[in-house]
Structure 1
Amino acid sequence: MDYYGLFPKFKLNRPLNEAEIKYQLNNGDVINCQSIMPDAKVISMNSNFLEMVDKYYSSKGLGSLVAFFGFSSMLFVITLVTFFCFFDSNYISLNDVVFFLIVFIPSCLMAIWMLILLKSEWFAWTHYPVRFDRKNRLVHVSRLNGSTYSVPWDSVFFTSGLNHRKDANKDYYISGHVLADDGETVIDTFCLPATHSDRKQLERHWEFVRRYMEEGPDSVVGVVDFCLPIAKKREGYRFGLLCLLSGFNGAPLFLFPFLFVLAFIFSIPRYLAMVTSRVPVWPESIELQCQVDKDDPYLVDASRNPKHPWRNLFKKPSTHHRESR
């Protein structure tokens, strides 16, 4: 689970750091991987473009679950201390007022903090798609505020990064930095969807995207056997539950009851996050650049998914489609 970029936001208008330069991923460099990895992040693919979700999609709902309980707890504390200091006594002493302020002010600040975190998932956007436009050699990106922008594929500085909790939880991710004219200052950042504790594993995901853009859909279409059914619509509850359960892919069957209960608990805030959020829509200018032929031989979308994806939940993950969390 990596929320860095969503909360807190990426730092912009800064120079590239040494680690980003050291681990740069060049568009033209072939990485010798035994397998490449779409990682169940593809929304659709065709001859002209590849559309994928953001890196926050897999964990959507977990942050709001924490925020909701945090806000509720702070609200309970504020109500409780207000009652005991001002309504449970006939005399209000100075000590009561001091104690109230000591508890009330930090609790209010924490409650506001939790509301900001909650707002990052509820009443936001269901996902933030990234579209790799091979035909025009562009990358179309959705910002967190719902706006979009396009940047030339060849000008993006791709690199593997590390989340802000460097000591607590080492989640690496692949970021695409949009640079200023000086070639050093980061003015915008987007991310590929996969995260992993092992930097080398991310190279398999990067190579999937790189091959599509540089070598064409024929080089990657064979590994895309599932697409997320969220193109121009919200994720349904059942699929959200399936998405959470897929994180336990490969677990022993005897753990299924416990894992199902765990996924069910997390599925509720995930569903609330989805139904309270808006579905992203690409501007007409981008859609006009990304027309798809009806008889496109490389068209892959959710309509071609297996009819019974539940049956594949607890199979051992293949080398192609291991989910990185």
Structure 2
Amino acid sequence: MDERVMKKCVGGPVPQWDMNHRLSIKKPAGPEVKDLGTVFCVNSTFMDVAEPSLFDKQWAIMGVVIAFCFSCGGPYIYYFTHANGSSGDFIMNCIALAIVYLFGSIVWRLGGGLFFGLRYKPIRFHREARKLYATRTRRFFSKPGEGDVVWEAPWAEESIFCLHREPTPYGTKFHIRHYTVDDNGNVTRTFSIGREWDSSQIRLVLAQWNYWCKYMNNGPSGLPKPMLFLPRKETPRESFLFSLYNFGMSAPVSMRLLAMPAVLIFTLMRMLANATCRNPVWPEAVWKISPVAENDPYAEPRAGTPVGWAETVTAQRRGEYPDDDHAAAEGWTGESDGEAHAAAWLDSPTTIAAR
């Protein structure tokens, strides 16, 4: 879901539900450590991670296209009522302006980031700097070395990382969010990390959080392989698979065939948006502290490592890349059943503090 249509809570306190489901960077959030398809790259210095809108931006793009088509109804009504030299009708003129304003504002608000923006907005988990660097928007008139707009968040126990709950037309969704607050406790900035999840997938959310924490606290040694390495350059085949898997990675063939017309339209939407965008540019200050040694044994993806959905699935079928690689969380003393723990924590988050 595009972050710009989510509740940001800027100017007010962090939602109480989010604070009740705050995440610690020091203690494991559950019994598992696992990545669920959020990583672009990893090495001894940093890990680049995705944010939620990457996975379903085709829906937002479709919304922008539909809004644009509806906004064209305003000029059509104006032209129709002013044909043959007519002065038009005041009420119809107001309707035409209202249509342009209503749907045009949606196109302006969302279209700018989807078209002529950034293909993806990585969040850099930087171990040495002990910070997160979150790419936000494209900077069109940057000075040399300025790069795109990037927010910083310290990797510290005082930082506010939470599980955020977001009502949507498709049900309640969850994702991990960081809040920056002022001296009065009011939100000044917020950004989301990773993917969105349903209420039945909270176990996976906690396993994902443990994965990022394990990397930041202990480094890449012993870290399970990511589900896949996301492509930085999205090919038409990857656009198709992003759109297909958005309907469910384990959906039966019959459902995929029924959804194929929509999948093809969504694929075209992603390709169209990507063609107008460019890859992000890190500010020079971030670039300078992010060198990757040529002999770094943990630098991935490297030659021979599959990148993207298609290559990874093919490599897994050949037994060349692990499927469902995971590990047990070190120091975990709570419920060993991840599903049971996640359900209890979602309903009564105090259980996580009691372990």
TM range (shorter): 0.7 to 0.9
Within a 5 Å distance, the mapping from 1:254-269 to structure 2 comes to 254-269=254-269
Describe the superposition over 1:239-292 as per-residue Cα deviations: whole angstroms up to 9, x where unpaired: 211222233321223444334432211011111111212211112221221221
Residue in 2 that maps onto 1:190: 191
Within a 5 Å distance, the mapping from 1:86-105 to structure 2 comes to 86-87=82-83, 97-105=89-97
Residue in 2 that maps onto 1:82: 78
Residue in 2 that maps onto 1:114: 106
Aligned amino acid, residue 25 of structure 2 = N
Residue in 1 that maps onto 2:250: 250
Describe the superposition over 1:212-234 as per-residue Cα deviations: whole angstroms up to 9, x where unpaired: 112221242x232521120xxx4
- Alpha carbons 1:244, 1:267 under 8 Å: kept: yes
Within a 5 Å distance, the mapping from 1:210-289 to structure 2 comes to 210-220=213-223, 222-230=224-232, 234-247=233-246, 248-289=248-289
Residue in 1 that maps onto 2:162: 159
TM score, norm. by length of structure 2: 0.77
SS of structure 2 residue aligned to 1:57 = helix
Describe the superposition over 1:5-64 as per-residue Cα deviations: whole angstroms up to 9, x where unpaired: 32357232432232122111011111233x433221100011111111111111123212
Percent sequence identity over matched residues?
18
Aligned amino acid, residue 175 of structure 2 = Y
Is 1:36 paired with 2:33? yes
Describe the superposition over 1:75-126 as per-residue Cα deviations: whole angstroms up to 9, x where unpaired: 1x224423432216x765xxx5134124212211123223222223111211
Alignment length, in residue pairs? Answer: 304
1:17 to 1:251, Cα distance in 2 relative to 1, 3 A? closer
| 1:309 CA displacement | 4.0
Residue in 1 that maps onto 2:181: 179
Question: 1:202 is matched with which residue: 202, 205, 209?
Answer: 205
- Whole-Å separation in 2 of the counterparts to 1:167 and 1:261: 22
Which ranges of structure 2 fall in alignment gaps of 5 or more residues?
139-147, 318-322, 327-355
- Alpha carbons 1:242, 1:310 under 8 Å: kept: no
1:140 to 1:84, Cα distance in 2 relative to 1, 3 A? closer
- Alpha carbons 2:228, 2:312 under 8 Å: kept: no
- Whole-Å separation in 1 of the counterparts to 2:86 and 2:184: 67
- Alpha carbons 2:23, 2:163 under 8 Å: kept: yes
| 1:161 CA displacement | 0.9
- Whole-Å separation in 1 of the counterparts to 2:76 and 2:30: 61
1:313 to 1:122, Cα distance in 2 relative to 1, 3 A? farther
| 1:184 CA displacement | 2.4
Which ranges of structure 1 fall in alignment gaps of 5 or more residues?
none
- Alpha carbons 1:6, 1:144 under 8 Å: kept: no
| 1:200 CA displacement | 4.1
Residue in 2 that maps onto 1:132: 125
- Whole-Å separation in 1 of the counterparts to 2:185 and 2:260: 47
- Alpha carbons 2:161, 2:177 under 8 Å: kept: yes
1:122 to 1:302, Cα distance in 2 relative to 1, 3 A? farther
1:53 to 1:286, Cα distance in 2 relative to 1, 3 A? same
- Whole-Å separation in 2 of the counterparts to 1:244 and 1:312: 21
1:271 to 1:217, Cα distance in 2 relative to 1, 3 A? same
SS of structure 2 residue aligned to 1:291 = coil
Residue in 1 that maps onto 2:16: 18
RMSD over aligned Cα atoms: 2.7
1:138 to 1:266, Cα distance in 2 relative to 1, 3 A? same
1:302 to 1:125, Cα distance in 2 relative to 1, 3 A? farther
TM score, norm. by length of structure 1: 0.83
